[in-house]
Amino acid sequence: MTEAVTPEMRLPPKVSGEKPDIGHMEEFNGNFARFLMRCKAECGELAEYNMAGQRTVLMSGPEAQEAFLKGLDKKLSRAAAYQATVPVFGRGVIFDAPPERMKTQLKIQVDALRYQNMRSYAAVIAQEVQDWVSGWGEEGELDFLDEFIGLTLNTACHCLLGADFRYKMTEEFKALYHDLEKGLQAIAFVDPYLQQPLFEARDNARERLQELISEIITERRANAHQEYGDALQTFMLGTYQDGTYLTDNEITGLVIATMFAGHHTSSGTAAWTAVELARNPVFATEILDELSGLFGQGQEITFENLREIPRLEAFIEEVLRLHPPLVLLMRRVMEDIDYKGILIEAGKTVAISTYGSHRDANYFPDPETFDPHRARASTAEMMWAYIPFGGGPHKCAGNAFALMQLKSIFAALLSKYEFELVDAPDTYQDDLSAMVLKPSSPSRLRYRRRG
Ligand code: HEM
């Protein structure tokens, strides 16, 4: 993408079906993943649609997706596209921080998800999974979406804020988190400061959560030498270039931002993995054989032995291809852009669709078929076609954490239990009613202890 913009340049083709005032909002809200596939089928690499006045250019195909993901912040701004998160994360945090401070905050966030903490996270997750299944008995039936939402909230809370907070986690904390989540509905992307009860509850929850987290910070400052091995410790030790520490407000913001980035993305993927395992028993048996070799003699699940489980990894990769939790990534265009002679004007939004990209038959033949054995060329093109974790400078910071958690959960579950669908196979569908894709509710599965 260049900025050599000339007056005779063409504009991106417009998607049909625009309505007065609302543009494509109605069709988008119906099923946005399918709407985005229609945009690409009709217009090709660039397709412009209208969200109640906000003109958005969908960029499709590996080349356009690479340009989007590698775009510099000053040209393609995430901050301007994700302003709805400001009241949730907090003033002065990430997308509301000046560029240099934002950079440092993101670096500290990445540090918290890096190797040095991963070993203790692996132990925490293994423990949480063990506690979770301890009351299951011989057989039963559960809604696995609800179950994974609960489990991954516990693991996120435990890894981010430590054991003390996790085991004291009250209904109050869950209610506050829920109020913050409700504050990120589609309307917040139009105006997050509208006067309405939903946003009032969001603001009260943000304030109260900071009080709770400040209490732990104060306690920990009094015990400065203790090792906690959690993200809060990394956030508390991180400094800006001038040597100052993050404020309680900023630390609270990073906790919330990390929780939001990691929670529903993980629970949705875990739920889809469980459903696909139940729907594809032949592949499940292959993975079980692999796990028996690794954990068959009652070996503990640890960070080390979770590292390489190729069949399970390929299975999760295929789940993320067909059901990528973050379907739509967005940036605001800050300076006019020339993309192959087409002008994308400043002020517009640009977007890419992981869901659409993963269903491109040029790269994924017979794309709707679930096949963990599908060969994937390791070409540069493929790298920008398969993008469940995004790519470039803002590629998912929790990628390694997410995969380690999924492997830990399914290594433990599959060794102990077998699963089967309760409802007809085609009733388990992608639910796109929220920002993060998940299987439709209820996602009921029957489990039975292995003999
Ligand atoms: C299967 C699970 C997950 C998927 C599919 C996923 C996907 C993504 C994607 C696509 C992005 C890029 C967004 C963009 O470019 O606009 C992203 C960013 C991010 N993710 Fe994840 N994510 C997952 C789990 C997690 C977890 C568990 C955490 C933390 C514990 C996490 C933390 C982050 C953070 C902090 C960013 C922002 C990075 C930055 O701004 O530089 N993610 N994720």
Please give the full DSSP string across 316-371, using - where no structure is assigned. Answer: HHHHHHHS-SB-EEEEEE-S-EEETTEEE-TT-EEEEEHHHHTT-TTTSSSTTS--
Q: Which of 332, 391, 398 is closest to 357 using CA atoms?
A: 391
Q: Label residue 325 by pLDDT band (50, 70, 90).
A: very high
Tell the residue number behind the tokens 């009241």, with chain if given: 87
Residue 253 Cβ inside 6 Å of ligand 1? The answer reads no
On whether both 140 and 204 belong to a single domain, the answer is: yes
Report the range of poorest mean pLDDT among 184-193, 274-283, 376-385. 184-193
Q: Which of 340, 367, 386 is the last residue of a domain?
A: 386
Alpha-carbon torsion angle 163, 165, 169, 170, nearest 10: 150
Q: What is the pLDDT of residue 227?
A: 87
Q: Measure the CA–CA gap between 57 and 349, rounded to whole angstroms.
A: 6
Q: Label residue 2 by pLDDT band (50, 70, 90).
A: low
Range of the domain at 10: 1-90+327-386
Residue 315 Cβ inside 6 Å of ligand 1? The answer reads no
Q: 387: CA distance to ligand 1 center in Å?
A: 11
On whether both 38 and 109 belong to a single domain, the answer is: no
Upper half-sphere CA count for residue 209 (Cβ side, 13 Å): 32
On whether both 53 and 3 belong to a single domain, the answer is: yes
Q: Measure the CA–CA gap between 188 and 204, rounded to whole angstroms.
A: 16
Atom number, ligand 1, closest to the C-alpha of residue 326: 10
Q: Which of 367, 386, 405 is the last residue of a domain?
A: 386
Q: 265: CA distance to ligand 1 center in Å?
A: 8
On whether both 380 and 409 belong to a single domain, the answer is: no
Q: 134: CA distance to ligand 1 center in Å?
A: 30
- What average pLDDT does range 152-173 have in this prediction? 87
On whether both 414 and 368 belong to a single domain, the answer is: no
Report the range of poorest mean pLDDT among 8-17, 46-55, 170-179. 170-179
Residue nearest to atom 21 of ligand 1 (CA): 396
Residue nearest to atom 43 of ligand 1 (CA): 396
Tens digits of residue pLDDT in 330-354: 999 999 999 999 999 999 999 999 9
Residues 6+ apart with CB under 8 A from 366: none
Angle between helices 310-322 and 248-279 (to 10 degrees): 100
On whether both 380 and 392 belong to a single domain, the answer is: no
Residue nearest to atom 14 of ligand 1 (CA): 329
Q: Measure the CA–CA gap between 35 and 60, rounded to whole angstroms.
A: 13
Q: What is the pLDDT of residue 298?
A: 72
Residue 142 Cβ inside 6 Å of ligand 1? The answer reads no
End-to-end CA distance of the chain: 59
Q: What is the pLDDT of residue 5?
A: 63
On whether both 393 and 365 belong to a single domain, the answer is: no
- What average pLDDT does range 82-86 have in this prediction? 91
Q: How many domains does the chain have?
A: 2
Residue 428 Cβ inside 6 Å of ligand 1? The answer reads no
Q: Label residue 141 by pLDDT band (50, 70, 90).
A: very high
Q: Label residue 302 by pLDDT band (50, 70, 90).
A: confident
Q: Measure the CA–CA gap between 109 and 314, rounded to whole angstroms.
A: 28
Tell the residue number behind the tokens 């992307």, with chain if given: 189
386 and 378 in contact (C-beta within 8 Å)?
no
Integer CA distances (angstroms), 127 to 101, 112, 304, 326, 392, in order: 36, 20, 16, 28, 34
- On the question of pLDDT at 236 being above 60, the answer is yes
Q: 325: CA distance to ligand 1 center in Å?
A: 10
Phi-psi region of 368 (alpha: psi -120 to 50; beta: other; left: phi over 0): alpha
Q: What is the pLDDT of residue 194?
A: 87
Q: What's the CATH code of the domain at 53?
A: 3.30.43.20
Q: Label residue 304 by pLDDT band (50, 70, 90).
A: confident
On whether both 156 and 105 belong to a single domain, the answer is: yes
On whether both 374 and 429 belong to a single domain, the answer is: no
249 and 213 in contact (C-beta within 8 Å)?
no
On whether both 393 and 382 belong to a single domain, the answer is: no
Is the bond into 324 cis (omega within 30 degrees of 0)?
no
Ligand 1 pocket test: which of 109, 389, 401, 435 has the largest number of ligand atoms within 8 Å of its C-beta?
A: 389
On whether both 204 and 136 belong to a single domain, the answer is: yes
Upper half-sphere CA count for residue 334 (Cβ side, 13 Å): 12
Q: Label residue 164 by pLDDT band (50, 70, 90).
A: confident
- On the question of pLDDT at 406 being above 80, the answer is yes
- What average pLDDT does range 169-180 have in this prediction? 87
Q: Label residue 277 by pLDDT band (50, 70, 90).
A: very high
**pLDDT over 70, % of the chain:** 98
Q: Which of 397, 81, 93 is closest to 256 using CA atoms?
A: 93
- On the question of pLDDT at 408 being above 70, the answer is yes
- What average pLDDT does range 219-242 have in this prediction? 91
Residues 6+ apart with CB under 8 A from 168: none
Q: Which of 361, 386, 411 is the last residue of a domain?
A: 386
Residue 113 Cβ inside 6 Å of ligand 1? The answer reads yes
Atom number, ligand 1, closest to the C-alpha of residue 159: 30
- What average pLDDT does range 304-325 have in this prediction? 94
Q: Label residue 1 by pLDDT band (50, 70, 90).
A: low
Q: Label residue 260 by pLDDT band (50, 70, 90).
A: very high
φ, ψ of residue 337 to 5 degrees: the values are -125, 140
Residue nearest to atom 27 of ligand 1 (CA): 262
Q: 75: CA distance to ligand 1 center in Å?
A: 21
Q: What's the CATH code of the domain at 437?
A: 1.10.630.10
Residue 357 Cβ inside 6 Å of ligand 1? The answer reads no
- On the question of pLDDT at 3 being above 60, the answer is no
On whether both 226 and 360 belong to a single domain, the answer is: no
Q: 388: CA distance to ligand 1 center in Å?
A: 9
**pLDDT over 90, % of the chain:** 77
Q: Measure the CA–CA gap between 352 and 81, rounded to whole angstroms.
A: 13
Residue 329 Cβ inside 6 Å of ligand 1? The answer reads yes
Element (H or E) spanning 43, and its range?
helix 32-43
- On the question of pLDDT at 4 being above 80, the answer is no
Residue 106 Cβ inside 6 Å of ligand 1? The answer reads yes
* Average pLDDT of the chain, as a whole number: 92
